Amino acid sequence: MMTAAAEEAGLERNSSPLSGLKGIVEAILFVSGEPLSVDRLQGVVEGVSRAELMSALRALQADHAVEGRGLQVVEVAGGFQIATRPDCAPWIKRLEKAKAGAKLSRSAMETLAIVAYKQPLVRAEIEQIRGVDTAGVLKTLLDRRLIRIVGRKDIPGRPIMYGTTKQFLQAFGLKDLASLPALRDIKDLKEAEQFILPNVDLEVEEGSSEQVHEAVVHG
């Protein structure tokens, strides 16, 4: 027996399993602005099974894969999100030209790469690899919510350990950390230009400002 919410949504299972559901999911993804997991979608669309939601999501992906569409449904950062297609990037860049995005310097990219591939690790370990002080760079990455404090290492002084965030996955279009490219496939970071971050919602984690200050002072 269907719930009232499912009936109101027009999700009659006997007529068409995807009747109305694709449109509802598409609308939710459109207004979300961040990747939504299937579990989170299921909490919003009551009376619908996980299998039905996955079918609707895959159907949406197929719909947006049609030639000529400017949007796509991508699986990223543990959820699904509506995003622009890569071949539309030149026109989007023209729109974005007037409002320059947050830039990551080469040193910030190098530090972020070290954290991504070696996490969790402490500041001293990062500096041992880079050979330079990283206090300022770490603060930038913490401010951008690309890295976070994941705990303290069980050694004298109990230094702070760092790891990447959900926003990191979202910014680089990764489904999870297992999706990171192999190191051998990455070009020398010294040849990289400044990286412009895409516009992603940077969620402020509870106590993050205090953690940033503590990491810079004591990290």
- Would the pTM of this model clear 0.75, i.e. be above it? no
- For the segment 135-159, the average pLDDT, to the nearest whole number, is 92
Query: Please, what is the average pLDDT of the chain?
Result: 78
- Would you say 45 and 24 are in contact if contact means Cβ atoms under 8 Å apart? yes
Rounded to 5 degrees, φ, ψ at 35 are -60, 140
The per-residue pLDDT for 186 is 57
Q: Tell me, what amino acid is at 4?
A: A
Residue 66 in this model has a pLDDT that exceeds 50 = yes
Return the higher-pLDDT residue of 43 and 102.
Answer: 43
pLDDT at 75: 93
Of 74-78, 143-147, 169-173, 180-184, least confident by mean pLDDT is 180-184
pLDDT of residue 64: 93
Q: pLDDT tens digits for 32-54?
A: 988 999 999 999 998 899 999 99
Q: Which two tokens stand for residue 139?
A: 């603060």
C-alpha to C-alpha distances, 176 to 75, 117, 171, nearest whole angstrom = 10, 12, 12
Question: Could you tell me the two tokens for 168?
Answer: 């990191």
pLDDT digits (tens, 9 = 90+) for 170-212: 888 888 998 888 776 655 444 444 454 554 444 433 334 344 4
3-class secondary-structure state, position 197: coil
Q: Where are the beta strands (DSSP E) in 20-176?
A: 71-76, 79-84, 103-104, 121-122, 147-152, 160-164
